């Protein structure tokens, strides 16, 4: 299968290992396909492909941004989306999901919200994963009893900040952001906190690095993936005393800690890596009647254009607010204005397409 991978390219090597051809177009301008700026028309991306290379699947990986690839709804090629941050963007994702034939949802509780039209879409839970090329175990000395790696910001994540501050008042807690592999490998216990009952990347990354993970009970399919006190250790949400008690216990009970950490790492490597997810995606696509899915999507463009107009209206609002915030920064202000005007123009085009479909219902814009 030839796969055009848009956005976050973390699954590229996994698709390649599964025997597929992959080209990427990434918003950081480091992909195989170069475009000048985003958002970009998918037609422009397709025109930049090597001569004779035509994708069998266009696959978008969620980057927690507004739509950066425009016109996917009109493609005669199967489209797929792996959505990561449902807990952050559900208010517009519920409409945006209408343009895809396949939707893979990282958070199990949100799967029903992404089933826009079950008659023409395949929507499935596909949990997050570790990247074994990056998330590796090293025999490093354990210099941190407990660590947390992630954004700690009292304004944007107040609950997390309060939780970590409360834990730090009772036991030593090392916190940092960014690079995590060395920190996890040097930690006896890795603490995880979820933004909104989500099973986040940190779960799989910490386990793959071979340290004991102390994470909160979140439901959301978590116990379908891992077992408490076998693969990791769970605490009740916001229960600081329980966090402190469990962290102190496992930091001082080496054998128990290492046994659980080892089982957790083995579980991730057996079932939850990039390759496992790439295999699942391609098997589902190849087992489906993609021609029927594409055909029914194209016949539903009237409905799709209607919801897309709302998505782009949301994007206009996002960059309107951002432009006001960055009025003191000339370059950022100009970029926000450009993005707002782009989405305004795209919304107008979608409304025009919608009007044409209403007047000429048998016309399909390709």
The CA distance from 94 to 364, in Å, is 24
> What pLDDT score was predicted for residue 301?
93
52, pLDDT greater than 70: yes
The CA distance from 285 to 289, in Å, is 8
41, pLDDT greater than 90: yes
11, pLDDT greater than 80: yes
308, pLDDT greater than 80: yes
What confidence category does residue 366 fall into, taking pLDDT thresholds of 50, 70 and 90?
very low
Alpha helices in the chain (DSSP H): 12-17, 42-47, 86-96, 158-168, 181-185, 201-208, 222-225, 240-252, 254-271, 274-286, 290-299, 301-325, 330-359
Find the helix or strand (DSSP H, E) in which 147 lies.
strand 144-149
The token pair at 287 is 């087992």
The CA distance from 209 to 186, in Å, is 10
Q: Which of 50-64, 235-249, 264-278, 343-357 bottoms out in mean pLDDT, i.e. has the lowest?
A: 343-357
The CA distance from 130 to 23, in Å, is 21
Q: What is the distance between the terminal CA atoms of the chain, rounded to a whole angstrom? A: 23
> What pLDDT score was predicted for residue 120?
97
Query: Nearest 5°: phi and psi at 22?
Result: -135, 135
> What pLDDT score was predicted for residue 363?
53
> What pLDDT score was predicted for residue 255?
98
Report the SS3 class of residue 316: helix
Burial class (CB in 10 A: 0-12, 13-18, 19+), 186: middle
What confidence category does residue 330 fall into, taking pLDDT thresholds of 50, 70 and 90?
confident
Query: Nearest 5°: phi and psi at 187?
Result: -110, 135
Q: Residue 348: which residues within 8 A CB-CB, separation 6 or more?
A: none
> What pLDDT score was predicted for residue 157?
87
pLDDT tens track for 161-211:
999 999 999 999 999 999 999 999 999 999 999 988 899 999 999 999 999
Only one residue has tokens 């209408």, namely 98
pLDDT tens track for 213-227:
999 999 899 999 999
* Residue with more model confidence, 117 or 156: 117
What confidence category does residue 353 fall into, taking pLDDT thresholds of 50, 70 and 90?
confident
pLDDT tens track for 84-113:
999 889 999 999 999 999 999 999 999 999
The token pair at 57 is 């699947």
The CA distance from 18 to 45, in Å, is 24
Helix axes 201-208, 254-271, angle to 10 degrees: 110
The token pair at 200 is 């986040």
> What pLDDT score was predicted for residue 87?
86
Average pLDDT score over residue span 109-128: 97
- How many CA atoms does the CB half-sphere of 15 hold within 13 Å? 19
pLDDT > 70: what percent of the chain?
98
User: How far from chain centre, in Å, is Cα 232?
Assistant: 23
Instruction: Verify cis geometry, omega within 30 degrees of 0, for the bond prior to 115.
Output: no
Are 37 and 339 spatial neighbours (Cβ–Cβ below 8 Å)?
no
What confidence category does residue 351 fall into, taking pLDDT thresholds of 50, 70 and 90?
very high
Average pLDDT score over residue span 246-261: 98
Are 105 and 86 spatial neighbours (Cβ–Cβ below 8 Å)?
yes
> What pLDDT score was predicted for residue 365?
45
The mean pLDDT of the chain is 95
Are 41 and 70 spatial neighbours (Cβ–Cβ below 8 Å)?
yes
Are 214 and 250 spatial neighbours (Cβ–Cβ below 8 Å)?
yes
Are 10 and 131 spatial neighbours (Cβ–Cβ below 8 Å)?
yes
The token pair at 341 is 């005007």
């Amino acid at each position: 299968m030839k796969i055009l991978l848009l956005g976050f390219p973390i699954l590229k090597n996994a698709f390649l290992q599964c025997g597929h051809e992959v080209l990427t177009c990434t918003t950081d301008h480091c992909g195989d396909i170069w475009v000048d700026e985003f958002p970009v028309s998918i037609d422009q991306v397709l025109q930049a492909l090597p001569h004779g290379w035509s994708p069998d699947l266009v696959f978008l990986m969620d980057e927690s941004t507004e739509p950066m690839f425009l016109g996917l709804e009109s493609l005669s090629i199967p489209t797929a989306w792996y959505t990561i941050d449902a807990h952050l963007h559900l208010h517009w994702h519920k409409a945006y999901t209408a343009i895809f034939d396949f939707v893979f949802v990282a958070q199990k509780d949100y799967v029903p919200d992404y089933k826009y039209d079950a008659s023409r879409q395949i929507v499935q839970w596909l949990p997050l994963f570790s990247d074994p090329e990056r998330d590796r175990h090293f025999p490093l000395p354990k210099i941190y009893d407990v660590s947390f790696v992630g954004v700690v910001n009292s304004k944007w994540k107040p609950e997390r900040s309060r939780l970590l501050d409360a834990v730090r008042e009772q036991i030593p807690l090392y916190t940092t952001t960014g690079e995590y592999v060395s920190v996890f490998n040097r930690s006896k216990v890795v603490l995880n906190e979820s933004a909104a009952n989500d099973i986040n990347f940190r779960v799989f990354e910490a386990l793959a690095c071979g340290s004991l993970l102390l994470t909160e009970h979140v439901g959301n399919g978590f116990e379908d993936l891992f077992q408490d006190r076998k693969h990791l250790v769970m605490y009740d949400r916001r229960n600081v005393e329980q966090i402190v008690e469990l962290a102190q216990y496992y930091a001082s009970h080496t054998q128990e800690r290492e046994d659980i950490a080892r089982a957790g790492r083995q579980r991730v490597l057996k079932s939850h890596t990039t390759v496992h997810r790439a295999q699942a995606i391609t098997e589902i696509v190849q087992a489906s009647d993609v021609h029927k899915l594409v055909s029914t999507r194209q016949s539903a463009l009237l409905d799709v254009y209607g919801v897309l107009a709302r998505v782009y209206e949301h994007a206009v609002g996002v960059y309107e607010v951002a432009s006001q915030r960055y009025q003191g920064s000339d370059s950022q202000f100009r970029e926000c204005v450009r993005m707002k005007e782009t989405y305004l123009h795209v919304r107008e085009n979608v409304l025009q397409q919608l009007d044409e479909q209403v007047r000429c219902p048998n016309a399909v814009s390709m």
